[in-house]
Amino acid sequence: MRELLDEIDRRILRILQKDASRSVDALAEAVHLSRNACWRRVKRMEEAGVIRGRVALLDAKSLGVGLSVFVMVRATEHTKDWLESFRRAVSDLPEIVAAFRMSGDLDYLLRVEVGGVEDYDRFYQRLVDKIQATDISASFVMERLKDTTELPL
């Protein structure tokens, strides 16, 4: 789909990444299209999966979950059953906001959002109850230098 996106589509996407609450009229005006032409482009990109959804970005600190933790997991085994167990744990633990299977020495990287170190410890206890791992280690985010949902277009 990427090769089918023209510059107007990219402008629409840049605007929506910054503010998905814009009306179709405001969006159309910003990209110099008619309302219907703009709406059709947005609909096409939604149907193609380029636009997966529209969300509200929340302020974690004001909601009491301002500590980000990167959790590194080394699997005890690499079987289908272990992976299914791990997938269930990732799905069941709401503190895990992102999970990645990695190449190299590390098997999985989790991004976890909690209120503080005590909350992380409670999360950790629930995680180790759900999965077997050779090693689980964590790094706490000290400062956010950049944290965006915007993709480079």
What sections of 19-144 are H helices per DSSP? 24-31, 35-47, 80-92, 117-130
Domain boundaries, the chain: 2-47, 61-140
Q: Write the CA distances from 29 to 15, 22, 84, 100, integer angstroms.
A: 12, 11, 48, 39
Task: Reduce the DSSP state of residue 46 to 3 states and report it.
Answer: helix
10 Cβ neighbours under 8 A, 6+ residues apart: 153
| CB neighbours of residue 108 within 10 Å | 19
Domain 2-47 has CATH 2.160.10.10: no
CA-based nearest residue to 16, from 138, 150, 123? 150
- Model pLDDT, residue 4: 85
At residue 2 the predicted structure's pLDDT band, cuts being 50, 70 and 90, is low
Please give the CATH number for the structural domain made up of 61-140.
3.30.70.920
Q: Which pLDDT tens digit goes with each residue over 21-54?
A: 999 999 999 999 999 999 999 999 999 999 999 9
Q: Which pLDDT tens digit goes with each residue over 71-114?
A: 999 999 999 999 999 999 999 999 999 999 999 999 999 999 99
